[in-house]
Amino acid sequence: MFKEFAKGLSITFKHLLPGHSTTVQYPHVKLKPSDRFRGLHRLVPTQDREKCVACYLCPTVCPAKCITVESAENDKGEKYPAVYRIDLLRCIFCGYCVEACPVEAIEMTAEYELANYQREIFAYNKERLLR
């Protein structure tokens, strides 16, 4: 019994020695998330417009029904999203929209600091998603 007590005490003492702490001082030091991390969405731009062709695959596949798309045609006769809105309060960050997209127009970034004060701020429109 006493042997086990001593063993436990030695383990905790070893951890007390410097260099054993695994804590990161978060707001001062930030870890880089993994490449596969699913953070805030981003609409990928090309030279003059967004890549998105408003095919409606992402709102269809979205399990949380948080994506709103309204398509329109520009002067060249190409389809583009006149409205592209993601309600981040409903989004579950599953990444299905990224998987479903046929033209790789939407992707997920590493940004995870999304807290804010008003509900309206969480409705991301096309301009905020095009970064």
Provide the annotated binding site for [4Fe-4S] cluster. Answer: 52, 55, 58, 62, 91, 94, 97, 101
On whether the CB atoms of residues 119 and 87 are closer than 8 A, the answer is no
Nearer to other proteins, 16 or 115 (CB): 16
Other CB atoms within 10 A of residue 70 CB: 11
In which element (H, E) is residue 7 found?
helix 2-16
Annotated binding residues: 52, 55, 58, 62, 91, 94, 97, 101
**Residues 12-71 within binding reach of other proteins (CB under 8 A):** 12-13, 15-16, 20-23, 25
- Which lies closer to other proteins via its Cβ, residue 21 or residue 34? 21
Q: Cα separation of 91 and 94, whole Å? A: 8
Q: In angstroms, what is the minimal distance from the CB of 31 to other proteins?
A: 15
Which is nearer to other proteins, 2 or 117 (by Cβ)?
2
Contact 121, 92 (CB under 8 A): no
Q: Helix and strand tally (H, E) in the chain? A: 4, 5
Binding site for other proteins (CB under 8 A): 5, 8-9, 11-13, 15-16, 20-23, 25
